[in-house]
Structure 1
């Protein structure tokens, strides 16, 4: 078993489902963030220092959120438009200090977690099916090298089985989680089945 389940992006679906299934309420750094794996790596490599610098923010093309162009993080929940108006870049810049403070707090929580004796199951949801076994192995190596003694495993979730599944090292397991059209939270039944049948022999061999 594990003590804590922590999402590593890429989609809000995983945050919602982890909280629903485990009952965990504490927020973690990558919760609710749309973030490609390369930028998860960047956040770890820089110890979360390259974040929310003024002048690097832009609006998402749908106008529903903002993106940190340097950190590669899409924010759909942290920045808010004025009543009866659309989100503007001015809104984003005004709210930057508060959001930066929140992320700094979550970065401190991350550092405390990886220094603790807790066994952590990380969940990386590759909703677009673009990541490879080598990408996940690099993530595993980064976590091991940056946080010696940290007890963790990685669950890699995709919509389809990757071609290089046989190249995954021990400590990483890959499973499929289907897309449920029209519901960003995902398929509750599929997630329940996933957590009821976690492959602990692959995660902690």
Structure 2
């Protein structure tokens, strides 16, 4: 039996490298870059779970940013430190940074006694007013009513509300502390409901799986 040749598809975004064959363009057209397809969350999760390079790309910067944490110098420094320990803030920030790098976005939701559908009022939070912190990745949050009408608003090109995946409770955007992934052009951010890009997208097909 004659062995069939093996072909490999590359997806680095550069087309018409030599002659334009297969692109619908002629030989005289210039080379150009096109946007690669967005990776699904399951593909990103598979890379993170099975490839040590992917895991390091995601986790090492997040660990470096939170390992030594911060030094608080003020009269209430001990109280602040105790409250951060109670809420496990350092670990929550580390997790949110990791998921923002993996998925392109994450958020921390402080749970208080305030109405989640109304704008968050931080000045109304007293000592112990934050009950706990919850970390979500961008795929946990379903956006509603993207603000494309008020360019002066803080959430321009971002949702007015979120609901949790398979949940029904509307949560005003001000209740979330957002962690946005890699920088994207404005039109791409609109397509991603205000989130950024995964740090793995540029390497997941070119180097991560090749080295795995």
Instruction: Normalising by structure 2, report the TM-score.
Output: 0.20
- The TM-score with structure 1 as length reference comes to 0.20
